[in-house]
Structure formats: structure tokens, C-alpha cells
Amino acid sequence: MAALKVGILISGRGSNMTALIDACAAADFPAEIVLVIANRPDAGGLARAAAAGIETGLIDHRDFADRVGFEDALDAALRAAGVELVCLAGFMRLLGARFLERWRDRVLNIHPSLLPAFRGLRAHQQAIDGGVRVSGCTVHIVRPEMDAGPILVQAAVPVAADDTADTLAARVLTAEHRIYPQALRLMAEGRVRVVDDRARIDGAAPPPDVLISPSGI
């Protein structure tokens, strides 16, 4: 089967983008990254994508009078590259209902919390302020509401008593880099069905372990 053509949207350093690029480099991976677009000229991920030989583009939202114009430009660039699935990877703009209807169930996002907890900005500080013992990350199909939509894969990580937002972010990021390629693979293998706005995954085994945090109590 031909590899699924993927476009990635970024706003920053693009470490999740790099994890997806690295996964797709494996010969048997069922997806390929054909385009990376940033909405900010200073997005460090653009140079990383170009160095990997991937077509890159800059579509700066500030060059457009409104969101519809910006999203039409995104849509046109993605279509021109033959993109079939869009992965948001640290893309810090909300996408509107019109764009998402055109790309229904074909836009993924990664968020650094166990959604639906701690949506929006500063998710790690929200987790620490909430006193939770476990946090994590979520890959989901994107709906117009912020950090909402059918959940594909989540990873849980413990929150240590002395964690700061930065130390927690680093632990969660390692998990992000593992689950985003896994979620992309599920989509590319056609193993995801959306039923009643929840994602059903064909052939998923039950998770083996319970994570208790703090441990050793």
C-alpha cells in the first residue's frame, strides 16, 4: 500500500515533528512527510525539516486579514503537496470549523496533558498547580474547540514532588515523541474509526500495567 502523505504544521522548535520525520524514515513505516509549514518565520523546526530534505513553507498568519484567509492558504498548500493527513506539532493557532470540516478526521494534534484535563496554554503549570500525581500527553483528532476531539493515544508519566513545569515538560516530551509516531501509524494503517465522536482502534491490546504515583508508598 502507498504510504500516507502527511503534512506537519509547526510554530516552534519542532521536536515532535522531528520524531515523526524519524519514524517515517523507517522503510516499513506506512506514512511519509511531504510538507512542513510554519506560521512563524522564527520556527526552528523549519530548518530541521529542510535538512531532512522535506519541502517546507512559511505561511505567516500575520500576513492575512482574518483567520479564513490564513486557513485557505494553509489548505491550498496542503492540497498542492498531495497531503492526506495533517499533524499539528506544537502549532499554536486554533483551526476553525471551516478548515476542519474540509479535513474532517484528518487532522491530529498532540497536547502535553491527559486530556480533557489541562487544556490550553501552560498545561504543565496547570498540572503542578492542580497537585496531580500523574500527568502525560495525548494525541487526538482535532475538533474546533481547543485541545478537543477523539482521543487516539495517551501516555501517563508520574509527577514528582519537586517537579517544576520545566522538569515535568521534559519528562512528558519524551513520552510525546513515542506516542505521536504510534498514533500516526494507527491512522496510516487505517485502524481508527470514529464512532459517536470517540476513536475506536482496531486490534489494540489492553494496556498491561497500572501506573501508581507516588510509587513505593
111 is known as an active-site residue: yes
Q: Which of 56, 71, 95, 111 binds ligand GAR (CB under 6 A)?
A: 111
Q: What value, to the nearest 5°, has the Cα angle with vertex 90 and ends 87 and 93?
A: 90
Shortest Cβ contact with ligand GAR: which residue? 90
If one asks whether residue 84 binds ligand GAR (CB under 6 A), the answer comes out as: no
User: Given the complex with ligand GAR, which of 135 and 199 has the nearer CB atom?
Assistant: 135
Contact with ligand GAR (CB under 6 A): which of 71, 84, 163, 176?
176
Residue with cell 471551516: 98
Do residues 185 and 30 touch, judged by C-beta distance below 8 A?
Answer: yes
Burial of 66 (0-12, 13-18, 19+ CB in 10 A): exposed
Closest approach of ligand GAR to the CB of residue 10, in Å? 6
Are 55 and 36 spatial neighbours (Cβ–Cβ below 8 Å)?
A: yes
Asked if 147 is part of the footprint of ligand GAR (rule: CB under 6 A), the reply reads: yes
Q: Which of 173, 185, 189, 213 binds ligand GAR (CB under 6 A)?
A: 173
Residues that bind ligand GAR (CB under 6 A): 10, 12-16, 89-90, 110-112, 123, 147, 173, 176
